[in-house]
Amino acid sequence: SQTIHQWPATLVQPVGSPLSLECTVEGTSNPNLYWYRQAAGRGLQLLFYSVGIGQISSEVPQNLSASRPQDRQFILSSKKLLLSDSGFYLCAWSVRQGSGYTFGSGTRLTVV
Amino acid sequence: QQQVKQSPQSLIVQKGGISIINCAYENTAFDYFPWYQQFPGKGPALLIAIRPDVSEKKEGRFTISFNKSAKQFSLHIMDSQPGDSATYFCAASGRGNYQLIWGAGTKLIIKP
């Protein structure tokens, strides 16, 4: 069966520090991968998506970046965090167009 | 034309009642309409989905009603229970587009 792992679950980082969030998927190959951010009590904002290794599409210009070094690995990074980067970060995967997403358990990031 | 409009923003229903959440879309190329359920601190989970070749799909107490001509679809939760209290998101996607277009979410509270 397919599973998605996302870590860490919570993270408190100072302003200006770097960030690396990792997401891995097991049990499938060539998944579509997504990074979302959700502000408290708000909706889902798509940040990045990837349809293959090394292929990254950015939806929102900001100080975050994403990389897909392996087929089932998706990384969200920042060189210098801002207060506004605080939020709930969710990784998701889908197998093909017109299919549902499976979300990870999320990372609660607080920038202080 | 890519938007999915969801209403209401919040909803309070008595235990045992029917919860109804509505979504409307403009893009006639959409052909997949899922609903997701999200509990606090967790990632959204696929609840039920429908394609436009049927007008209704039922899974347990959850039913999607789909009106292709009106470009609307809704989630009905029968015999609502306190455990159904969560945020619900509708979404849509179409041919040639891997991305789900999300509604803004509805916070549902079931009063015991």
Say if the Cβ atoms of B44 and A103 lie within 8 Å: yes
Interchain pair A98, B93: CB under 8 A: yes
Going residue by residue through chain B, which has 112 residues, state the pLDDT in tens, using 9 for 90 and above.
679 999 999 999 999 999 999 999 999 889 999 999 999 999 999 999 999 999 999 999 999 999 999 999 999 999 999 999 999 999 998 876 668 999 999 999 999 9
* Tens digits of residue pLDDT in A13-40: 999 999 999 999 999 889 999 999 998 8
Task: State pLDDT tens for residues A57-107.
Answer: 988 868 999 999 999 999 999 999 999 999 999 999 998 766 789 999 999
Q: How far is CA A52 from CA A55, A73, A104, B92, in A?
A: 5, 10, 19, 22
CA dist B98 and A97 (Å) reads 4
CATH number of A3-111: 2.60.40.10
Give the angle subtended at the CA of A5 by the CAs of A63 and B105, to the nearest 5°.
Answer: 65
Q: Which residues of A touch B42 (CB under 8 A)?
A: 105-106
Decide if A87 touches B, using CB distance below 8 A: no
A58 has a chain B CB within 8 A of its CB: no
Domain, as residue range, for B48: 4-111
**Chain B residue with minimal CA distance to A47?**
B99
CB contact under 8 A, B98 and A97: yes
Distances (CA, A) of A97 to A14, A31, A63, A111, B54: 38, 10, 28, 34, 19
* B contacts of A43 (beta carbons < 8 Å): 89, 102-105
Interchain CB distance below 8 Å, A98 and B103 = no
Distance CA B12, CA B108 (A): 6
- Contact: A100, B46; criterion CB under 8 Å: yes
Domain residue extents for chain A: 3-111
Q: How many domains does chain B have?
A: 1
CATH number of the CATH domain containing B70: 2.60.40.10
